[in-house]
Amino acid sequence: MNQQNNNPQNNQQPTDKFSLGQVLVFDKPLKWTSFDLVNKVRYMLKTNLGIKKIKVGHAGTLDPLATGVLIVCTGKKTKEITTFQDHDKEYIATIQLGSTTPSFDLETQPENFVDTTNISEQMVQDCLKSFLGNQIQYPPVYSAKKIDGKPAYISAHKGRGDEVKMRPNQIEITELQIIEWNDLNKCFKLRVACSKGTYIRSLANDIGKKLGVGAHLAGLRRTRIGEINLNSAILIEDFEKSLKSYQQ
């Protein structure tokens, strides 16, 4: 994919172009759900181009507190969504040691604080080696993973998370690299390359368990899906500007 796929301007009529199908790569804003972005794209297409009805969908959900690469497909290209979902992915995760959260990230408040004075970067490096390769991983209860036909987070938000039995996923993690280490706060940035179905929040929680001090995900940015990376991504504001140019 190249940048021109994100630019709605070419010789084809815009209404036909998006109905026939486009693959758009966005840098998802912080605190937006993936569905928020999809709904915004659909609304922009309808209001700026006068399209009355159009299919819009996304490949690979990002949590509200995550940013980065989100692929949005329109029209007939929505049939290719599962293909993009099957690709491997890469993230930059910020992991805070010494406390946990019920959601494994900052959607819920940190708790269970533990002294981390003795934890060194080398200890974390050694710990990370055990998470490489094929493995079984349990998704967070605060996730959209469906249990008995309902997203697990519904029960979690009602305080019934302990009643939910999460089913494990078979995943593969191919690369784990610490790219920044804060020894004072025992917080680090980790580059993660992994297969589909991998929950980085669960990885953070599991790393904390392995080290015996607890941990949670303090930030997440998806940098790649397959061969598509942030260099191909555009902001939703720029997409809107390009659509409005048709009205000039």
pLDDT of residue 119: 98
pLDDT digits (tens, 9 = 90+) for 62-90: 999 999 999 999 999 999 999 999 999 99
pLDDT digits (tens, 9 = 90+) for 91-121: 999 999 999 999 999 999 999 999 999 999 9
Prediction pTM value: 0.88
pLDDT of residue 248: 53
Place of tokens 């406390």: 99
pLDDT digits (tens, 9 = 90+) for 147-158: 666 666 666 666
Q: Cβ atoms within 10 A of the Cβ of 64, count?
A: 15
Identify the helix (H) or strand (E) that includes residue 205.
helix 200-211
pLDDT digits (tens, 9 = 90+) for 205-231: 999 999 999 999 999 999 999 999 999
CB 166 within 8 A of CB 152: yes
Using pLDDT thresholds of 50, 70 and 90, give the confidence band for residue 142: confident
Instruction: Examine the residue annotation and report whether 238 is marked as an active-site residue of this protein.
Output: no
pLDDT of residue 246: 67
> In this structure, what token pair is assigned to residue 117?
């004075």
Say which of 27, 63, 105, 206 is annotated catalytic. 63
Tell me what the mean pLDDT of segment 155-173 comes to: 74
Between 125 and 48, the more confident residue is 125
Tell me what the mean pLDDT of segment 25-50 comes to: 94
